[in-house]
């Protein structure tokens, strides 16, 4: 494959999305739309990478620069041809072909792009357009061919005649063009259309009229691959297609997904083989899940790391945390950011952990809050235990030593340290450090009143 640069068109506004967020920055499977075009281009080994953005799209600019791309600004929305022309300065020193992609078309596969570029190169074409067949072409531009099947022009739907609108082969918006000819031609096209815009598609007619080789390459396969996202409806359709791809990829790699249509896995999630995902699970962000894990129904896992053989039970929510090998979490547990769960730890139902480390073999099986705490190995935390870590101004830590036994309904008023092997009696409020192997309890004496008779209730009153 010869030298290849890429220009990605991303200056479109979010008018039909009805959003203040740039259209290409809306999320699809956990990532901005434009990142898919950038990564597809990278897979085809294109350099340099130029993204055309609007002057106010700072979110787009930041994303592109973070990925090593160059930003070109289209200050006026004068059409796709005008947009590509804004990339000319950034490509001044480049010689080769330019691959033109759309930032709002996230489903295009790298294999399709490679085949397309190879076809353009093999035919030594000055201009190539990637096409697709659609049952309902709608607003897509039509590919008009002559009786020999050769492309003669691309007609935008709003400018097309009735016979043209019957054509099912449409322009995907993806072009591969010889760089010098591209920019020379873009300076010559005129806005002779209903929109008074400079259409990129006009370069195809120019190539043919000049007797240059022009290729219209059918992409084939699933037409959803070329879906452009302009509305929230389009975004939902693209998301469903991407989710299907992602789930299929994981299943082919050895992950069991019980109900793929009801399982939501973001694009950057990684899962080891022999793991089972139950319906309703949402695995988000850059989460990493090891082998032989079980993720039950309704689990939400975001930007977290899960080691091998972990069992996360139903409806647990885990964010920015890590879980070590063979731990069990849930059901109905919540791990808030910066929680570190050690090997063979048991975190049970209605337990909330925040910015705490629970070390190997410790257990907190039910109805507990552990915030800003370090819980040592093999500690047993009884039901209803609370770390009182906030005094209204600052937060303080609680430390519990190895093998300590914490009775039910204990409150630790931080900062406080519990020694190794200590026992805390049920119902205690601990405000001072407890030495190793000591028993600490704070209880009022039990009072029994014999022959107690409650006051009689007056009839009709309470």
Q: Which secondary structure element, helix H or strand E, spans residue 32, and what is its range?
A: strand 31-32
Tokens of 235: 């975004």
Q: Rounded distance, CA 331 to CA 443, Å?
A: 32
Q: Which of 42-46, 108-112, 267-271 has the lowest mean pLDDT?
A: 42-46
367 Cβ contact list (under 8 Å, min separation 6): 349, 350, 351, 383, 384
Question: 81, 203 in Cβ contact below 8 A?
Answer: yes
pLDDT tens-digit map of 121-157: 999 999 999 988 878 777 778 888 887 788 877 887 7
pLDDT of residue 459: 61
C-beta separation of 450 from 434 below 8 A: no
At 114, which helix (H) or strand (E)? helix 110-122
Cα 328 from chain centroid (whole Å): 26
Residues 376-421: tens digit of each pLDDT: 999 999 999 999 999 999 999 999 999 999 999 999 999 999 999 9
The DSSP element (H or E) to which 139 belongs, if any, is none
Between CA 150 and CA 87 the distance in angstroms is 30
DSSP 149: S
- What is the pLDDT at residue 148? 75
The model's confidence at residue 62, banded by pLDDT at 50, 70 and 90, is: very high
Which domains are assigned to the chain? 4-226 (3.90.550.10), 261-440 (2.160.10.10)
CA distances from 25 to 71, 152, 330 (A): 15, 35, 34
DSSP assigned state of 455: P
What's residue 339's pLDDT? 98
Contacts of 158 (CB under 8 A, 6+ apart): 139, 193, 194, 195
Pairing mode, if any, of strands 305-306 and 288-289? Answer: parallel
Residue 199 — very low, low, confident or very high, per pLDDT cuts 50/70/90? confident
User: For the segment 173-183, what is each residue's pLDDT rounded down to a tens digit?
Assistant: 899 999 999 99
- Which positions ≥6 away from 20 have C-beta within 8 Å? 14
| 357-373 mean pLDDT | 98
Q: Hey, which residues are catalytic here?
A: 366
* DSSP helix/strand/coil, 340: strand
Q: Between 87 and 140, name the one with better pLDDT.
A: 87
The whole-number pLDDT of residue 331 equals 98
- Distance between CA 325 and CA 334 in Å, rounded? 18
Q: How confident is the model at residue 457 (pLDDT cuts 50, 70, 90)?
A: low
The alpha carbon of residue 83 and the mean position of all alpha carbons in its chain are separated, in whole angstroms, by: 28
- The DSSP-derived string for 163-210 is HHHT--EEEEEEEEEEHHHHHHHHTT----STT----TTHHHHHHHHT
Question: Is 458's pLDDT higher than 70?
Answer: no
Secondary structure (3-state) at 437: coil
> Taking a C-beta distance cutoff of 8 angstroms, is the pair 321, 303 a contact?
no
The DSSP bridge partners found for residue 459 are none
Asked if 153 contacts 167 with a C-beta cutoff of 8 angstroms, the reply is no
Length of the chain equals 462
Mean predicted confidence (pLDDT) in 255-267: 98
Distances (CA, A) of 14 to 24, 57, 229, 240: 8, 11, 10, 21
Strand order through the sheet with 340-341:
270-271, 288-289, 305-306, 322-323, 340-341, 357-358, 373-375, 398-400, 416-418
Computed over every residue of the chain, the mean pLDDT equals 93
């Amino acid at each position: 494959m010869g030298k290849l640069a890429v220009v990605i068109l991303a200056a479109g506004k979010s008018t039909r999305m009805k959003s203040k967020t740039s259209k290409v920055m809306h999320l699809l499977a956990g990532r901005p739309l434009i990142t898919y075009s950038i990564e597809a281009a990278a897979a085809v080994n294109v350099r340099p990478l130029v993204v055309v953005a609007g002057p106010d799209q700072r979110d787009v600019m930041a994303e592109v620069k973070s990925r090593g791309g160059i930003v070109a600004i289209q200050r006026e929305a004068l059409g796709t041809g005008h947009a590509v022309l804004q990339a000319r300065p950034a490509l001044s020193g480049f010689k080769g072909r330019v691959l033109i992609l759309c930032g709002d078309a996230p489903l295009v596969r790298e294999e399709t792009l490679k085949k397309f570029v190879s076809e353009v190169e093999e035919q030594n074409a000055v201009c190539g357009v990637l096409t697709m067949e659609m049952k309902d072409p709608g607003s897509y531009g039509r590919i008009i061919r002559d009786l020999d099947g050769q492309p003669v022009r691309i007609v935008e739907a709003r400018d097309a005649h009735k016979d043209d609108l019957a054509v099912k082969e449409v322009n995907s918006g993806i072009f591969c063009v010889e760089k010098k000819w591209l920019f020379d031609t873009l300076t010559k096209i005129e806005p002779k259309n209903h929109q008074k815009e400079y259409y990129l598609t006009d370069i195809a007619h120019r190539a043919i009229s000049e007797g240059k080789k022009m290729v219209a390459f059918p992409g084939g396969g699933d037409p959803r691959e070329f879906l452009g996202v302009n509305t929230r409806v389009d975004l939902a359709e693209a998301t469903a297609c991407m989710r299907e791809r992602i789930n299929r990829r994981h299943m082919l790699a050895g992950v069991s997904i019980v109900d793929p249509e009801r399982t939501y896995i973001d694009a950057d999630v990684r899962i080891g083989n022999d793991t089972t995902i139950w319906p309703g699970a949402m695995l988000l962000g850059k989460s990493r899940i090891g082998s032989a894990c079980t993720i039950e129904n309704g689990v939400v896992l975001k930007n977290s790391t899960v080691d091998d053989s972990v069992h996360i039970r139903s409806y647990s929510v885990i964010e920015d945390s890590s879980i070590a090998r063979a731990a069990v979490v849930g059901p109905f547990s919540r791990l808030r950011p910066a929680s570190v769960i050690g090997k063979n730890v048991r975190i049970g139902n209605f337990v909330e952990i925040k910015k705490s480390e629970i070390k190997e073999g410790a257990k907190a099986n039910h109805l507990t809050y552990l915030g800003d705490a370090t819980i040592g190995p093999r500690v047993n935390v009884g039901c209803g235990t609370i770390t009182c870590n906030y005094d209204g101004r600052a937060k303080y830590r609680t430390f519990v030593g190895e093998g300590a036994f914490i009775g039910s309904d204990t409150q630790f008023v931080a900062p406080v340290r519990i020694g190794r092997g200590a026992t805390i009696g049920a119902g205690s409020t601990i405000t001072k450090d407890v030495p190793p192997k000591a028993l600490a309890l704070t209880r009022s004496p039990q009072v029994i009143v014999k022959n107690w008779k409650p006051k009689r209730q007056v009839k009709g009153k309470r």
